A and B are shown apart, each in its own frame.
Chain A
Amino acid sequence: MKTRESVLTFSQIITLVDTLARFHLKGEAQQYLLGYFWWILEPLLYVAVFYIVFEKLLQNRQPDFLYFLMVGKLTFIWFSKSINQAANSLDGSKGLMAQLNLRKEIPPLAVIQQGFYRQFVVFGFLLIFLVFNGYAVNAAWWWLIPLILVQALLTIGVGLLAALLVCVRLDFRLLIQLATVFLLFMSGVFWDLNAITDERLRHWLMVLNPLATLIDAYRQVLMLGASPNVGKLGWVLAETLLLLFLALFAYHHLQFWVARKVVSR
C-alpha cells in the first residue's frame, strides 16, 4: 500500500488553497441572486457612497475625484476585506482542524486567494474604466505588476498574523475591524497624502502605513502615468517581507498550539 505522510507537500498545499478558494467563491455566488456580479458591484457601491458624501455633499475640491477615489478605494477594499476575512478563517475552520492535521496557514491563505480572484476582476474593470475615460495606457502601467505583487504579499503577511491574533483572543476580531477602519482614514483613500504640508509627518505616515504608499503609487502610475517612488516602494517591500517572515516563523512554531486553541474553544 502506498503510504503517505500526513503533512501535505508544497504543491498539494497550493492546489488545496486554490481549490478551497474557488469552491468557496462558487458556493458564495450561488447564495446571491446577482452571483459573481457582486464582485464588481459591492466595491463600486462603496465608491458610490464615498463619492456622494465627499463630492456632492462636502463639495470636495480634488480634481478628477471619481477616478482618484476609485483607484484608492478599490485597492483598499482588496486589502481590508481580505484581512477581516482572514482574521476569522482559523476560528472558522474549527471542524476541519478537529479532524485533520492541516497546515494552519491553509485557511487564511485560501481566504486571501479568494480576494485575489475577486480583485483580478476588479482591476480589469478599473483599467478599462480609466481607459474609456481618457487615461491613456502607457509604459508606467508596467509598474502595476510589482505594485500588485507587493500588495498581495503584504495582504498575505498581515492576513496570516491577523488570523493568529484572533486565535489568541477573539477580542482581536473587533480590534482588527477597527484597525481597518482606522487605516481607511490614514491611507489617503479619499484624500491626497501629498496635501500634507508637514513633510516629516507625511514621511512617517507612509513609513508606518505601507498601504498609504501603495495607494499613492497606484495613483502615480494610473492617473499621472508616472513611475512611483522606488525608494518608498522598496521600504514597503522590506516591511512586507519582515511581516511575512514573522508570520511564517510564528506558524511554523504554533501549529499544535493553534489546533488546541481553536478546537477547545
Chain B
Amino acid sequence: MTALVALEAVCMRFVTKSNPEYPVFGGINLSISAGERIALIGRNGSGKSTLLRVMARIFAPSAGNVHWAPGVSVSMLSLGLGFRPDLTGRDNALLSCLLLGLSRKEAKASVERIAAFCEIGAFFDEPVRTYSVGMRARLGFGSALMNRSQVILIDETLSVGDTFFREKAREALEKELTEERAMVLVTHGEQQVKRLCRRAVLLEGGTMMADGDPGEVLAQYAALSASQA
C-alpha cells in the first residue's frame, strides 16, 4: 500500500540556551498509509508533539526526509483554532473553517453543521468569553471536525470535556475516519489507544523504541515507566 506520509531517518534538534544542538529525536522511520490509526505514546518531552508538527509540515526536520504522497493533506486536529473570546461561536467557527482551508462558501455551510454538533443553542451567537469550559470544548471539537485532511494528527485533543462529550467526540471521530483517511493520535490514555488505534508507536530516549500492536506497545511502555519510576 502506498504511504500517505513516510518519514526516513528523521531527526530533530532544537537550539536551547545551554545546548545549540539539543536532540529531540533521531533516526525516526515511520510510514502512514490510508486507513491506519496510529497511537503515538511516550513520556512528556519525548518529542511526540514535535513529530506531529514535522508530519504536518509545520517544522522542517533537522535531518532526514519526509515524503508526502502527491496531493495529500496532513494537519493537526486542533480545538479552538484561532478562537477569539470576544467573537461569537458562529464567527469563531467560520474563522476556524477558513484556517482549515475551506472556501468562504464551504465555511459558511460548515458553520451550520458545527452549530448542530455543538448543541449549545442560542449561545452559538454569543461571545465565546461567556461560555463554560465544556461549551468551548464542544465548539472547538465541532469546528475541528471540519478538518478535511486525509491524515489527521491529534495531540491529546480528545481528553477534554465531560464523559458524555468525550464519548460523543469519539463517536464523531470514528465516523469521520473512513478507510481513505489516516490518524495519528498522541495520548496518555490507555483506553483511547485500545479503542481507537490499530497500531502504536513508542517514542523513548529520542528514538522509536517500539512499533506494533497497541496492546504489546502499551505493555512495553508500562514496563518502561515502572522500571524508571
A23 CB → nearest B CB, Å: 6
Flag if B101 contacts A23 (CB, 8 Å).
no
Q: Is A256 part of the contact surface with B, judged by Cβ < 8 Å? A: yes
Contact pattern, A 233-261, Cβ under 8 Å of B = 1, otherwise 0: 00000000000000000000000100110
Give the residues in chain A near B150, CB-CB below 8 Å.
1, 3
Q: Is A8 part of the contact surface with B, judged by Cβ < 8 Å? A: yes
Give the residues in chain A near B76, CB-CB below 8 Å.
99-100
Give the residues in chain A near B56, CB-CB below 8 Å.
6, 100-101
- Complex partner residue of A259 from B14, B59, B86, B91, CB under 8 angstroms: B59
Give the residues in chain B near A194, CB-CB below 8 Å.
none
Contact pattern, B 67-83, Cβ under 8 Å of A = 1, otherwise 0: 00001111110100110
Label chain A's interface by main secondary structure. Answer: helix
Q: Considering the chains assembled together, what is the distance between the CA atoms of A99 and B99 in angstroms?
A: 11
Give the residues in chain B near A59, CB-CB below 8 Å.
none
Flag if B99 contacts A260 (CB, 8 Å).
no
Which B50-99 residues have C-beta < 8 A from chain A? Answer: 53, 56-60, 71-76, 78, 81-82, 84-87, 91, 94-95, 98-99
A253 CB → nearest B CB, Å: 12
Q: Considering the chains assembled together, what is the distance between the CA atoms of A89 and B181 in angstroms?
A: 34
Contacts A15-B104, A256-B60 given; indicate if A4 touches B149 (C-beta within 8 A): yes
Q: Considering the chains assembled together, what is the distance between the CA atoms of A118 and B199 in angstroms?
A: 53
Q: What count of chain B residues pass the 8 Å CB interface test?
A: 36
Flag if B95 contacts A260 (CB, 8 Å).
no
Residue of B nearest to A4 (CB): B73
Q: Is B180 part of the contact surface with A, judged by Cβ < 8 Å? A: yes
Give the residues in chain A near B206, CB-CB below 8 Å.
none
Flag if B75 contacts A6 (CB, 8 Å).
yes
Contacts A26-B87, A100-B78 given; indicate if A4 touches B101 (C-beta within 8 A): yes
Flag if B94 contacts A19 (CB, 8 Å).
yes
Q: Is B103 part of the contact surface with A, judged by Cβ < 8 Å? A: yes
Q: Is A152 part of the contact surface with B, judged by Cβ < 8 Å? A: no
Q: Is B220 part of the contact surface with A, judged by Cβ < 8 Å? A: no
Q: Is B225 part of the contact surface with A, judged by Cβ < 8 Å? A: no
Give the residues in chain A near B103, CB-CB below 8 Å.
12, 15
Flag if A30 contacts B127 (CB, 8 Å).
yes
Contacts A1-B180, A19-B98, A20-B95 given; indicate if A6 touches B81 (C-beta within 8 A): no
B72 CB → nearest A CB, Å: 6
Flag if B99 contacts A23 (CB, 8 Å).
no
**Looking at B14, B15, B98, which has the most chain A CB atoms within 10 Å of its CB?**
B98
Contacts A19-B98, A264-B14 given; indicate if A2 touches B91 (C-beta within 8 A): no
Residue of A nearest to B71 (CB): A3
Flag if B71 contacts A256 (CB, 8 Å).
no
Q: Considering the chains assembled together, what is the distance between the CA atoms of A20 and B180 in angstroms?
A: 32
Give the residues in chain A near B31, CB-CB below 8 Å.
none
Residues of A within 8 A of B (CB): 1-6, 8, 12, 15-16, 19-20, 23-24, 26-28, 30-31, 96-102, 256, 259-260, 263-264
Name 14 extra pairs, CB < 8 A, besides A6-B73, A100-B81. A1-B148, A1-B150, A2-B148, A3-B150, A4-B73, A5-B73, A6-B57, A6-B101, A16-B98, A23-B87, A23-B95, A26-B86, A100-B75, A259-B59
Residues of B within 8 A of A (CB): 14-15, 53, 56-60, 71-76, 78, 81-82, 84-87, 91, 94-95, 98-99, 101, 103-104, 127, 148-150, 178, 180-181
